[in-house]
Amino acid sequence: MSLNAALPLVAPLLLLVALALPGIAALVRLAPFLTPLERFAHGAVLGIVAGTLAMLPLGILVGFSAPVLVVLAVASVVVAAWLLRSTGVLRAFRRPPGELLAGFSDHVDIVGFAIIGLFTVRWVALWTSAMTFDASGLWAGHEYLWSDWPTHLGIVSSFAYGDNFPPQHTLYAGLPMSYHFLSDLTPAAMVVLGMDPAGALSLHSFVLSVLLALSLYAFARRMAGGDRGIASLALVLFLLGGSLIWIATLGTINESHDLIGTLTTTPFDRAAQDSLHIQFLNPYIAFVMSQRAYLYGLPLVMLSLTLLLMAARRADALRRATAAARRARRYGSLGLFVLAGVVAGFLPLSHLPTLLTLAMVTPILVFALAPRPWALDSIPWLGWIAFHVTWVLVALPQLALQLRGGSSALSAIRLELGWMPAAPGSPVPDEWWWFWLKNLGLFAPFLVLAVIGWRLLPPRPFRLLLAFMPLFAIANVVVFQPWDRDNNKILVYWFLAVAILVAALVVQTWRRHRSATVRFLLAGAVATMIAGPILENLAQWEGQGRFQMLTTEQIQLDAQIRSKTDPHALFLSSAGHHDPLMMLAGRRLFMGYWGQLWVSGIPYQQRQAEVKDLLQFRSGTEARLTQEKIDYVVISTTDVTDPDTLANLDAYEGRYPAIIKTTHYQVFAVSPGAIDAAG
């Protein structure tokens, strides 16, 4: 990368560092019992989330601009320094570099950090090819990025180019942003500092992926009582765990009799995944990479759970201590419960499925984290009350900002017993046991053995992980959102617990049995658990599966719209899945892609019919355009949601001036203000 190409990355990276510092400092000050890795990994994400949340009132009150972001970054550094002033951390940096490195090396797990280093190398390749521009337009490096990132690009553009404060829904004018948008607001700040939206999303995803790997390792190590081997394997199983889809590749090799040719041309077959009814997907590829909000939700929930675990331990120690000893404690368990509540309180704008998951698990944790779950008097009730009250107080303002009278995807909650094994379009569904066996592979029997295993993990962390097991049953019975497959978002957290439990079983068995046969079988078992996602990563690495997001014409159209229209202008268009207006223009849409509105639980049908009438210029259209305060109408000859309903181009050309004309698009000014601005 040339120096000129690298310079636009400096300011966005410095912003991320500055935002991360207060979170790290807060954990150094308030949770000194955490390991240095926990304080850094969890704290960095906590600081970035808190700093991004601070952008909301700043954007509303003084605007979302580069000077405002610089002030926020400087303030973050000042806050971090203030938090660290009496901790002795800053004084430690006065030591000679050799002493600092020696002290750091004592805390480094070579194997664990080597694994994280390998993932980092992989992610460099992934995120530098995730969004690429060439002479034909913008391309996505994976199908999931192609399908999910139009929404994220649209949200980023709306903040960076459309001054979307207070946040309004990018796909439905007049509704609040009923979405967990903080993981898109941070990249929007990076765009304001000089990056393009696609590049900002990719860079942000890379940095947060590395932090996520560190958080996952730290959390697994905490659950394993400091066991580095279990933590390392758990990290691998979570980031690379998958189904038995690799069997389809073996079938291709068997037919072609060409191992190398198959691995270099079609190592992963998406069509085979669908035909085999593989629905439980690798968490990183299907959710972290594509849906992005897990980059904030996962570290926050792992930090909150760690604090709850430590609070429960401290409450038990205080309960058994003498009155004098309790008074001598400067920092009791109550403060940890409150701190855990504050962290959980950031979840509404960070990741709503994580919020829902934690809400379902915490009632179980109340009993699971007690020293004697069956003894009610051993439960620190005051601490749990403090946790939930703090959680609600921090979360409520965010929920109020998100909903504000709008619709929620949870309005579609319903009972559907065993919905998941039902093959789409098939009159005969899979048997539930067969569906889950081929979707989980050896994770299923190994999980059973781990649950009934003896002393695989310390008792209290073991019970904490078991508290996530009911999520599996709930997700197979209750559908929480309009699209049933979104239940997999909840199962991500179940799978996190599964990965740690299975890792504990494998590592402990490996250590107890020195037999070469046993160890060979264990290694083979782990290979079957990670082979599918490895093949999918190989396919992406080889560049197989590039999908066009936007054409060059559409990118140029967006640039003209941003330069010739007001940031707050309201647009009407046909709004397909990859509508350029939604992705890069940053302007408000009367209605965007209906599919995204459906999965969000927003009733769109009436407005969709209205869009159709307005584009066809039926009777009363001029009055309706004025009534709805629409400023511009974009008519395309190619990008239409309903090909049978083409816009009445002649009617618009005869009445309104076209401010932009390209080969396939025309943008008409229809409001008095827009017409005056057009000259």
Share of the chain above pLDDT 70, in %: 90
Cβ contact 296:183 at 8 Å: yes
Element (H, E) at 523: helix 516-541
Per-residue confidence band for 254, with pLDDT thresholds at 50, 70 and 90: confident
* Residue 621 belongs to a domain: yes
Distance of alpha carbon 474 from alpha carbon 454, whole angstroms: 26
Owner of token pair 């920092």: 331
> Left, alpha or beta for 649 (phi > 0: left; psi -120 to 50: alpha)?
alpha
What was the pLDDT predicted at 100?
46
Distance of alpha carbon 592 from alpha carbon 151, whole angstroms: 10
Number of domains the chain contains: 1
The DSSP string of 383-403 is HHHHHHHHHHHHHHHHHHHHH
Cβ contact 215:45 at 8 Å: yes
Q: Which of 4-8, 265-269, 315-319 has the lowest mean pLDDT?
A: 4-8
> Left, alpha or beta for 648 (phi > 0: left; psi -120 to 50: alpha)?
beta
What was the pLDDT predicted at 91?
56
* Residue 349 belongs to a domain: no
Confidence check: pLDDT of 330 > 50: no
Alpha carbon distance, N-terminus to C-terminus of the chain: 44
What is the average pLDDT value for the chain, to the nearest integer? 89
Confidence check: pLDDT of 260 > 90: no
* Residue 635 belongs to a domain: yes
- The amino acid that residue 245 corresponds to is I
More confident residue, 471 or 276: 471
* Residue 152 belongs to a domain: no
pTM of the full structure: 0.93
Confidence check: pLDDT of 65 > 50: yes
User: For residue range 307-326, what is the model confidence (pLDDT) as tens digits?
Assistant: 999 999 998 887 766 554 55
Per-residue confidence band for 577, with pLDDT thresholds at 50, 70 and 90: confident
What was the pLDDT predicted at 107?
61
The DSSP string of 233-269 is HHHHHHHH---STHHHHHHHHHHHT-HHHHHHH-S--
* Residue 260 belongs to a domain: no
Confidence check: pLDDT of 384 > 80: yes
Task: Kindly state the average pLDDT of the residues 541-551.
Answer: 87
What was the pLDDT predicted at 332?
66
What 427-435 contacts at long range (C-beta under 8 Å, 24+ apart), as own/partner pairs, is 430/277, 432/476, 435/277, 435/279
Confidence check: pLDDT of 145 > 60: yes
Helix (H, G, I), strand (E, B) or coil at 475: helix
More confident residue, 321 or 129: 129
Q: Backbone phi, then psi, for 651, in 5-degree steps? A: -65, -40
Of the candidates 200, 284, 221, 193, the residue with the CA atom closest to the CA atom of residue 42: 221
Q: Which two tokens stand for residue 398?
A: 């965010």
State the residue range of the domain holding 619: 549-678
* Residue 558 belongs to a domain: yes
Confidence check: pLDDT of 645 > 70: no
**CA torsion angle for 325, 331, 334, 336 (degrees, to 10)?**
-130
* Residue 440 belongs to a domain: no
More confident residue, 551 or 543: 551
Task: Kindly state the average pLDDT of the residues 267-294.
Answer: 87
User: For residue range 149-163, what is the model confidence (pLDDT) as tens digits?
Assistant: 999 999 999 999 999
* Residue 142 belongs to a domain: no
**CA torsion angle for 473, 474, 477, 478 (degrees, to 10)?**
-170
Confidence check: pLDDT of 3 > 80: no
Please classify residue 497 by burial: count the beta carbons closer than 10 Å to its beta carbon, then call 0-12 exposed, 13-18 middle and 19+ buried. buried
> Residue 598: which CATH number?
3.40.50
